[in-house]
Amino acid sequence: MGKFAEVFLGILTAMGGFVEIGELTFTLNAGRRFEHALLWIVLLGTVGIMVYCEMAGRIAAVKHQAVFSLIRERDGFSAGLLTLVAANIVNLLTCAAEVGGVALLWQLLSGWPYRGLLLAALVFFVIVVWSTPFKWIERIFGLGGLLMIVFIVAAVALHPDWGSVAAGFVPSLPRAAGGRDILMYAFYGVALLSSIMLPYETYFYASGGIEDRWKPADVTLNRIVVIVGFSLGATLAASLVVVGAEFFAPRSIDPALPGSAALATADAFANVGLYVALLGMFFAFAGAAIETALSAAYNLAQFAGWPWGLDKRPRDASRFALSWIAVFVLATAVVVTGIDPVSVVEYSIVFSVVVLPLSYFPVLAVARDRGIMGPYANGALANVLGWFYLALITVAALAAIPLFVATHAGQG
Amino acid sequence: MLALIVVVSAIGVTLFNQRPAHEDELAIPIGELRSQGFELRLLNDSAARGRDRRFVTAHARQLAQSIERTRDELTSLRPVPALIAVQGEALRRSVPLGDVAAQLGAGRAPLAPTALAEVVASAERLKALEGALKR
Amino acid sequence: MKPTIELLRDVLDHDVVDVDGVRCGIVDDIEFGEGADGVPVVAALLVGPGAWQARLPALLGVVSAWLFGHGTTRVPWSDVAELTQSVKLGRRAGELGLGKLDRKVASWLKRIPGA
C-alpha cells in the first residue's frame, strides 16, 4: 500500500494505542485531585516516549535488532537478566490489569459473571494472537482505540477554563499546597510520567518494526508516525485530565472503574457516548493486553536467543509462542483471585518507574553509537533529549518507592 | 545475606502494618466510601435520564463490590483510641450505600429521590469526616 | 571477517544464527584452547544454561541449575562463517545440536490447528 496510507495508519494506530487502563485511571484522578496542574507531566512524558520510541524504531530499521538483544549485548548477562525479570514482571502485571479491565467492560455490556468473563477473555486473546497476522492486530486494536476520541469531545463539551488548561502545561505546584499535598502531587507526577513512558511501548514498537521489516529508508516514516501519532495520543491523555477536573472533581467522585469513566461521556452524549466510550476502552485495554503479553515474549525470546515473531508459524518459533500464551494464562490467574485490576496496575506502574533507567539506557547507548548506526546515529537534538530523559527517569526511579510509601500507595 | 534481608524486611513490613491507624490511614477508606456514595447518585441520575439499563445494573453491582471491599478495609483498621468513634460513624454511614447499590444492582434503577437522599446525606457526612481527618 | 575481533564486544552475548538464517541461541561463553606457540586461541563458542550459569551470582546459579539444568552446546570456532551483528554459522542448527528445545516444543504445538 502507498507510503502515505501506511504513515496515516501508523499515526492512527499510535494514537489509538496510547491509553490503557493504568493511564486512564491516573489521568482521570490526576485531573480530579489537582485540576489542570499535572498537564505539563503529560507533555513531558509524551516527548520522552517519542524520543525513545524514535530511537528504538530507528535501531530496528537500521540494525534489524530489537531492544532486548541490545540490552544483553550492552549491559552484560546479569544486568540484562535483572532487566528482563523486572520488565517482564511489569508486563505481566499490566497484562493482568488489562485482562481484568476487559472482563469488567464485558460485564458492563452483558451482565454476565466476572470470573466467567475472565476465562472468556483468556480464550479470546489466545485465539486472536494465534490466528491473526501482526499487522491486523496492530490495526484492529489501534484503530478501534480511536473511539476514545469521545473523551476529547467530552472534555471540550465540558467548557473548561482554557486559560487554566494552558497554565497547566507550565510546571507548577498546586495551589493550597500543604506538605502532604506536595507529596501526593509528586507521586501523581511520577506515576503519570511512568504510565506514559512504560517500556513495553518502546519494546513492542521496535519488535513491531522488525516484524514489519523496516529498512533504513523507513527512518523518516518512523519519525513522523512517532511524533504525530503520539502527539494525538497525548491530546487524548490531556483530555482525560480535563474530564477528571471538570466532571469528577465537582461531583467529589474518584473514578476507579471503567464504568465510572463512561459515566462522564454518558452524561454529555447520552447512550451513544456511553457505548462509544465502553467500546473504545475495550479496544484500548485489549490492545494493551496483547502488546504487553507479546512484549514479554519478545523480551524473553530476544534475551535467550530463541526464534521469535508473529510472522513465523508457531511451530517455527515454538518457545516464543509458548511464552505469550503463558503470559496470558498467568495474567488471568492473577486477576481471577479477585484482586481489583486497577490496584494491580497501580502497583505495576510504580514498580515500572524503578526499571525505566535500566530499560532505556541501552537504547540511548546504541542509537548514539556511530560505529553501529553509521549515518543514522543520533544527531545533537536526539542526544540532548536522550540524556535529559535518562536523567529525569533516574530521578523519578529513585523517588518512586519513597513517595509510594509516604503517600500510602497514592491514596492518602 | 540476601535471605537475611528478605526476612528482616518481611518482619519490618508486618510490624509496620500492625501499628494503630492514624488520621492518614483512616481517611483513605472513608474517602473511597465518600466517592462511592456520590457515584451512586450520579449512576441513579443517569438511569433516570434514560441510560442503558443493563449498564446501570452491571455498574451498580461492580460498585457494590467495591463498597463491600472498602467497608471490610475500614473494619479491619485498628485506629488510635481518639479515632475509634470516627471509624464507627463512617461504618454506620456506609450501610445505606451498600443497600442502595444492591437495589440498583437488582435492576430497580432509577430509585426515587427520597431513597437517594440518605445516600447523599451519608456521602456528605463522610466527606466532612474525611476533611477533618486530613486537616 | 575483520582482522581483529573484539570478543567481548562483538561475539559474547550476540545472537547465533545458522546457515538458513534461523536463530538458535546466544553466545553464552567462549572456550579457549592452546594454539601452536602456546598463545590462547578461541576453540569454541558455548551455548546453553551450563554456560551462562557461571556468570550469575552464586545463589542464583544454584537455583537456575535446578530449574534449567546444566546443558551446554559446544560450537567449534571453525563452524563460524561470518561475524556481523550476529554470529553466523556455516551449518544448520540441528547438525550442531542447537535449537533442540525449540524443536521439542514445536512437536507439541504441531497438534494444534494453525501451528
Contacts of C55 in chain A (CB under 8 A): 77-78
- With cut-offs at 50, 70 and 90, classify the pLDDT of residue A354: confident
Contact list, B55 vs chain A (CB under 8 Å): 108-109, 259, 262, 274, 278
Asked, for residue A378, whether it belongs to a domain, the answer is: yes
pLDDT(C1) > 60 = no
The grid coordinates listed for A292 are 504487553
CA distances from C111 to A277, A372, C90, C105, C115 (A): 40, 42, 32, 11, 8
Q: Give the C-alpha separation, C42 to C63, whole Å.
A: 30
Reported as a single tens digit per residue, the pLDDT across A45-67 is 999 999 999 999 999 999 888 87
Instruction: Give the mean pLDDT of A184-211.
Output: 89
Show the domain range for B57: 22-134
- Residue contact B46–A412, C-beta within 8 A: no
Alpha-carbon distance A367 to A31, whole Å?
36
In a domain, A375, yes or no: yes
What's the confidence (pLDDT) of residue A1?
59
Q: How far apart are CA B115 and CA A112, in angstroms?
A: 27
**Facing residue for B34 by CB, picked from A108, A252, A408:** A252
**Per-residue pLDDT reduced to its tens digit, A233-261:** 999 999 999 999 999 999 999 999 999 99
Predicted local distance difference test score (pLDDT) of residue C63:
83
Instruction: Establish if A412 belongs to a structural domain.
Output: no
pLDDT recorded at residue A40: 96
Summary mean pLDDT of chain A: 91
Look at residue B122 and tell me if it is in a domain.
yes
Confidence check: pLDDT of A117 > 70: yes
A304 in C contact zone (CB under 8 Å): yes
Position A178 pLDDT exceeds 80:
no
Q: Which residues contact A125 (CB under 8 A, 6 or more apart)?
A: A99, A286, A289, A290, A293, A328
CB contact under 8 A, A316 and C85: no
Give the ipTM of the model, two decimals please: 0.91
Which residues, 6 or more positions from A237, have their beta carbon under 8 angstroms from its beta carbon?
Answer: A18, A19, A23, A27, A42, A46, A196
**Does the pLDDT at position A143 exceed 80?**
yes
Residue that wins the pLDDT comparison between A239 and A203:
A239
Which chain C residue lies closest to A321 (C-alpha atoms)? Answer: C109
pLDDT at A30: 95
Mean pLDDT of chain B: 91
Domain that holds residue A211: 3-406
pLDDT tens digit sequence for B53-106: 999 999 999 999 999 999 999 999 999 999 999 999 999 999 999 999 999 999
Look at residue C68 in the predicted model and tell me its pLDDT: 81
Q: Domains for chain C: give ranges and CATH numbers.
A: 7-109 (2.30.30.240)
Q: How far is CA C104 from CA A296, C55, C100, C108, C109, in A?
A: 21, 27, 6, 7, 9
Query: What mean pLDDT do residues B12-31 have?
Result: 84
Identify the CA nearest to A121 among candidates A140, A95, A87, A92: A95
> Does position A79 have pLDDT exceeding 90, yes or no?
no
CB atoms C109 and A305 under 8 Å: no
Which grid cell is B106?
Answer: 437488582
Provide the domain count of chain B: 1
The answer to whether residue B3 sits within a structural domain is no
**Per-residue confidence (pLDDT) for residue C35, from 0 to 100:** 85
Give yes or no for A311 touching C (CB within 8 A). Answer: no
Partner residues linked to B79 by β-bridges: B21
Chain segment B41-65, per-residue pLDDT in tens: 999 999 999 999 999 999 999 999 9
Lowest mean pLDDT among A408-412, B113-117, C90-94: A408-412
A8 pLDDT above the threshold of 90: no
Q: What is the pLDDT of residue A177?
A: 64
What's the grid cell of residue A237? Answer: 491523555
Q: Which region among A162-176, A231-245, A289-303 has the lowest average model confidence (pLDDT)?
A: A162-176
Residue B47 inside a domain? The answer is yes
Q: Which percentage of chain A shows pLDDT scores above 70? A: 99
pLDDT value, residue C21? 87
Which CATH number goes with the domain that contains A208? Answer: 1.20.1740.10
Asked whether the predicted pLDDT for residue A367 surpasses 80, the reply is: yes
Average pLDDT on A373-391 reads 95
- Quickly state the pLDDT bin for A342 (edges 50, 70, 90): confident
Contacts C15 to A, Cβ<8 Å: 69, 305
Reported as a pLDDT band with limits 50, 70 and 90, residue A377 is very high
Residue-wise pLDDT tens digits, C4-60: 778 888 888 888 999 988 888 999 999 999 888 888 888 999 998 888 888 888 888
* Domain contains B63: yes
What does the pLDDT read at residue C2?
59
- Nearest-Cα residue of chain A relative to residue C101: A319
Percent residues over pLDDT 70 in chain C: 97
Nearest to A69 among C15, C102, C105 (CB): C15
Q: Is A342 on the interface with B (CB under 8 A)?
A: no
Nearest to A18 by CA among A285, A233, A329: A233
A and B: number of Cβ contacts within 8 A: 82
Please tell me which of the candidates A253, A266, A267 has its beta carbon nearest to residue B38. Answer: A253
What is chain C's Cα-based Rg? 16
The enclosing domain of B120 has a CATH number of 1.20.120
